[in-house]
Each structure stands twice: as C-alpha cells, then as structure tokens.
Structure 1
C-alpha cells in the first residue's frame, strides 16, 4: 500500500486505524481485569507505545519480525471485523465480520490507493463520533444499581489487573505506523487523549462491573445515558473506524510479506475472517497486542544488534 505523502495524511491514517481494532471492544476485557484501573493502564499502554515508536527501527527488519508482525495484524484484523459485527449487525455479528473482511480485502487487492483526503475525512468522522459519545455520556448522571455487585465480581477495581489491562489496551495505540518517529508519537498522543475521554465517560455511565459484561460498551453506555438516538451516528463511526483499521493492517501485511504479497493478503484475510467468526474479541485483541508488542521488541533488539 502506498503511504500517504503529507504529514497530516499519515497522522490521520494512524489515528483512525488505532480506534477500529481496539477501543470499541477493548474496554470490556480491560474492565474485567482492572475496573477503574483501566484508566492508568491505558496511560501505561500509551507510554510503552511511545517508547517503542521512538526506539525501534522504521524499516522492516529481517528474520522473524515480519512473521510475528503479520500474525499480529491478522489478529488485529479479526478484532476490527468483530467490532463491526458487534455494533453494526448485533443480531448476526459473525456474518458482519466475515462480510467486512471480504469487502475490504478486495479493495486492498484490486482498487488503486485511495487519496490522502479519505484518511483525513475518516479521522474527522471517527473522532467526532467519539467526542459525541463522551458528551452524551456525561450529559446525564448514571443510574445506581439496585443491587450492589459482590466485592470479587469481574470488573471490581483491582490494581493487580493494571499490567494485563495495559497489555490488552496496547492495541489501541498501534495503528498504521508512519515513516517518521515523531508522527507515530503524535498518533499515540491523539489516540490517548480521545481514548481516555471515552474510557472515563463509559466507566462513568456503566461502572467497572457492568462494563466488564458489555458486548458493545459504547452502545450500552449511550443506552444508559438515555442517548440511544445517537446510536445511528455511532454505527457510522464504527463502520469508518473498522474499515480503516482493516485497510491499514491488510496493507501493512502486503508490505511485510517476503514473497507473493497478494497471496499472503488473501490468506491473511481468510484467517482474519475465520478468527472473527470463531473467536471472542478478548482473544483476538490479546493476541494482537502480544504479537505486535513482540514484533516491536524484536525490531528493537535487532536495531541495537546492528549498531553494536
């Protein structure tokens, strides 16, 4: 995939790609692990992403790094597809996930590269929708639960869950990378500001316990805030974010493929569709985060070894 040429285009592509794979569903497993501690966990995940952005080499590394990166992006593609299915076709989410992967894979393989203005418009749409969700959640005070959850319930506040929650949320900050390191940092900064606002707003409405059980946390938070009328706008934002994330990761897979990139993309899309069909999002999100973190670590070690 040809990278966008301007700084604004590259940052916009990175920002819109980060949200589609992690934020819309990643808050649920993070809340199950840490409750309100997912907020500092999100900051920790962003700090790790910034450190790797500043220290890892920007050109593709040889050896095992491309393979680990491809596997991580397949898992991220499955997570993005599941996001689309959960929000857009909640009755048959697996059908929505498979359909989206097929359509986007066809676009990546057959269509010419899209102009940079598409990424800028997509970023404006997604960020605008997320800001609307935040405002809607804070517009009304949350309703107290009639029965308090047990102290050991999933989603109860636990600092012990901070590290695993940060690992899960790492996917929220590794969208389509830019060629320049400071642009990667800018992507993480924008993603962190928006993601923190969304996380606090959703936690404000649902609490850690209810969030930990939510299949579509942003939709449930809007319903709790008596703002279900915003649901149609949310569907638009989720669709744009999911498509952008899938387009980004499949394009990166084509760049990382050592041979026959079109065939590799087709196989990766099939694997992502299968993952979206069979796996719960917490597994694909966790797998993507671990593998992409591993890829960054391998590249970092490879860069230091080359300098030695």
Structure 2
C-alpha cells in the first residue's frame, strides 16, 4: 500500500511538466490580451477549476475501475451524456495538441511555424506508430529539462530589470488591465492545467497537489512575462517567453530556452494525442465508433491535429481546446454530483462547484471558440449516433 501511495505522488512532477510544457510558451499571451495584469487572478481561478475537477475524478475513480472521462459519465449519467463528454474530451485534446505544436513551431522555425508544427506532430505520430515509449528515466529527464527551463526563465524575468520599461495599454485595448477579462484569462490558463489528471488516480490529495504546483508555476511565469513586456506587448506576442527574455537582455540564453520548449512540447503533444487515442478506444469499446477507430487511433489523432495546426493559429486553437476541455470537465463534475457524501473525499461538493465554474469559464472565453466547440460537439456526437443506429439496424432480424 505504501509503495502504491509513493507511486501516486511520483506522478506529480511529470503531470506538472506536461501541463507547464503545454501551456507556458503559449497561454500567457492571450490571457494578458484579455486582462493585462488581472490575468494573474485568472491563474488562480483556472487552478480552482482544475483542483475541483481533479478531486471529482479521483472520487469517481475510487468507486470504480473506470479511467476514461466518457466511461465515468456514461455510467453515472447515461449514454448520450457519455458520448458528448467523450467527443468534447477527444476534440479538446486533438485541438490542444495542434495549439502546442503551433506554439512550438513559432519558437523553432519563426519563418515557417506551421511547417515546424506539422513536423512535430508527425514525429510524435511516428513514435506512437512505432510503439516507441518513453522509459521511466527518459520521462524524468524530460520533466527535469522542462522544469529547469521555466525556472531559468522565471529567474531571469524577475531578477533583471527590463531594458525597455513596459508601457501600459490604453483602457479598452488588448492588454489593458481589465478585471472584466479575468474569466476569459482563466479559460486560457485552464488549458495550461492539462496533465493534472494524470497524477490523480484514486487519491484526491495527489490531484490537489498537482493543481497547486502547476498554478504556482503559471503565476511565476505570468508575472515574469508581464514584468518584462507589460500587458500590451505580451498580448501581441506569438513567442512570449522569447520576447520577455529579449526585454530582459537575456537573448544569450534563448537557445537553451528554445530547446527546453521543444522538449516540453514533444512531451505534451505525445500526452495529448495519447489521451485522445484512449478516448477513441473508449468510445469504440462502447460501440459508439467502429473498432477500426481504436486500431488506427494514432494515425487518426495525428492527422486531425496536423490539419488543425495548418488551418488555425495557436491562440485561436488554444481558445477552442480550452472550451472543449472545460465542457468535458463540466460533464465529469456533473457525474461526480451523483456521489453520496460517504463516497466523496471531502465535505465540499466538488461536483456542483466544479460544474458551475467549468460552465461559467468555458462559455466566457470567446464567442468564436464557443461556436467552434458546439460544431465539434454536434458533428462528433452526430457521427457516433449514426454509427450506433446503423449497428442496431444491422442486428435487427
């Protein structure tokens, strides 16, 4: 039992590395555009949503051997909600992988960022199709590189005065200090908590710890970037960490930061596409998708992510991915609402609170991301429904 508990706690650094590697090079800019310095409060709100959802997932997992979001929702709420939760989760992870790859492409190959993004997705797909898995030592190395990279950035950003003082944005313009943008900023940062669920298992305290660690990381990165660039410049930056380093006269360590970002992005994209593939497998096992979808899950998710990376810029993609994933979190928290008090790890009704916050934050990111998420949900759930009805008709004598 002690070894199992220890194994659960060792997943926290890897989960934090996935989350920070996915979001740190990307989400600070759109969050700052929405709220300026008030985006720091958005980190706290996003962390609260992630914390409540992590506890809800841990409580659900403690009551069954299920692992997937759609499986939990299907068992607690029914077939259609489970189908919708699965579509939202898969769509969010695929679009999220495209956003992370696009952001990494801007750092690696500024002249052709989309080419670099597709190349990163192809590399991850090749590893998956070749059944090449990260060993435990390699995961620890990747985790260490990601954390050290961000630590160097934060230290530089906080310790060195910017060469050019950050200018304040005019009220009403992107990057201005606007408290009404806190919820939108929280939506962008909620994408940056991806990977927290990997540390959960059935232990709520592990999920809480992972959410807190990631929140502290984002607070430090956000403050360092805002200190160097200000809300206006940060909100317009496609490569916020690089531009913040340049403002701090730290261009000499840019190559090291770029390598760290590339390593973190590779780890994050692999985790996102693996999660999307697991979601496809879950829907296929439930009869919602053909069995071929599970067999070809690596190819399907990679092609979809590469297509999104070619068509959608990273800032737009991260908004859509956050909306989709918050929708899946809303279903998951709704499923947790069915747990009786003795089945919950806390007196706090995490399901109710998490459901409310997930919906409020998700619908306030942007109108465009909400419409895109609705399209993904309708098309995906519709295809699953057609598949189920055809299968039922084929079994009818």
TM-score range, shorter chain: over 0.9
Give 1:283 shift: 1.5
Give yes or no for contact 1:82–1:93 (8 Å, CA) kept in 2.
Answer: yes
Bigger Rg, structure 1 or 2: 2
How far, CA to CA, are the matches of 1:146 and 1:293 in structure 2?
33
Cα distance in 2 for partners of 1:220, 1:87 equals 10
Distance verdict in 2 for CA 1:12–1:52, change over 3 Å: same
2:127·2:133 contact (CA, 8 Å) conserved in 1?
A: no
User: Is the Cα contact below 8 Å between 1:79 and 1:276 reproduced in 2?
Assistant: yes
Distance in 2 between residues matched to 1:91 and 1:41, nearest whole Å: 32
* Contact 2:164-2:247 within 8 A present in 1 as well: no
Give unpaired runs (5+ residues) of structure 2: 1-5, 62-66, 75-81, 285-292, 342-397
Structure 1 residues not aligned, in runs of 5+: none
What does residue 389 of structure 2 align with? none
**Map of 1:290 onto structure 2:** 323
Q: Deviations over 1:216-243 (max 9, x none)?
A: 0000000011100111111111111101
* Larger RCO (CA under 8 A, 6+ residues apart): 1
1:106 paired to 2:126 = yes
Match of 1:153 among 165, 173, 182: 173
CA–CA separation in structure 1 for the residues paired with 2:226 and 2:168 = 16
Aligned to 1:211: 234
Could you tell me which of 60, 65, 73 is aligned with 2:93?
73
RMSD (Å), alpha carbons = 2.1
**Residue 225 of structure 1: aligned partner:** 248
Contact 2:103–2:238, Cα closer than 8 Å, also in 1: no
Say which is worse superposed, 50-59 or 259-268, in terms of deviation. Answer: 259-268
TM-score by length of structure 1 reads 0.92
| CA–CA distance in structure 1, aligned partners of residues 92 and 217 of structure 2 | 24
Aligned partner (choices 184, 200, 206) of residue 183 of structure 1: 206
Shift of 1:163: 0.6
> Is 1:196 aligned to 2:219, yes or no?
yes
Q: Return closer, same or farther for 1:306/1:149 CA change in 2, 3 Å cut-off.
A: closer
Deviation at 1:262, TM superposition (A): 3.8
How big is the shift at 1:185? 2.1
Is the CA contact 1:254–1:262 (under 8 Å) kept in the aligned structure 2?
A: no
Offset at residue 148 of structure 1 (A): 6.2
With over 3 angstroms needed to count, the CA separation of the structure-2 counterparts of 1:265 and 1:125, relative to structure 1, is same
For the residues of structure 1 that align with 2:131 and 2:27, how far apart are their CA atoms? Answer: 30
Q: Are residue 125 (structure 1) and residue 125 (structure 2) matched?
A: no
1:300 pairs with 2:323: no
Could you say if the C-alpha distance between residues 264 and 184 of structure 1 is closer, same or farther in structure 2, counting changes exceeding 3 Å?
same
Q: State the Cα distance separating 1:145 from its structure 2 match.
A: 5.4
Counterpart pick for 2:155 among 106, 114, 135: 135
Q: CA deviation at 1:306?
A: 6.9
CA contact (8 A) 1:31 1:38 kept: yes
Q: Which runs of 4+ in 1 moved over 6 A?
A: none
